[in-house]
Amino acid sequence: MADKTKSVPLPKEFLPHPGDPNLPYKLWILLFDNVNYIYMRDAARTQPSSNEYKNRLLFNFLGLEGIGIFSAQPVVDRISTTSHEEFHSAVRTMFQVPVNPFRAYYDLEQR
């Protein structure tokens, strides 16, 4: 059976350098989770998935600037023992830009 994961493009790093990210966090994490699911499903045939593996993979794809910013979080010190849900939540809290509903409505009305 051919390895289907080789045809799945990896997402770009979230924040490779100072400035704006490649994609908004919400879209980027969706791409990352999909790729992670595909790779983990194929890897499950040969090895069990672990929270540490998922956490380190997510951490790696934050990019150099993203890693620098996120490294100040205490959850990074416990990367091998933290559940993936907790680690994912910490990343989301750090990088997802909150949407102001009033500003969104104003922007919509200005079109």
pLDDT confidence of residue 79: 82
Instruction: Identify the domain containing residue 30 by its residue range.
Output: 15-109
Residue 14 to residue 67: CA distance in whole angstroms: 10
Q: How many residues does the chain have?
A: 111
pTM of the entire structure? 0.59
Q: For 6-22, what is each residue's pLDDT tens digit? A: 566 677 888 888 888 87
Question: Could you tell me if residue 73 is inside a domain?
Answer: yes
Question: Could you tell me if residue 96 is inside a domain?
Answer: yes
Question: Could you tell me if residue 104 is inside a domain?
Answer: yes
**Cβ atoms within 10 Å, residue 37:** 11
pLDDT confidence of residue 89: 92
Of the chain, the percentage scoring pLDDT greater than 70 comes to 83
Question: How many domains would you assign to the chain?
Answer: 1
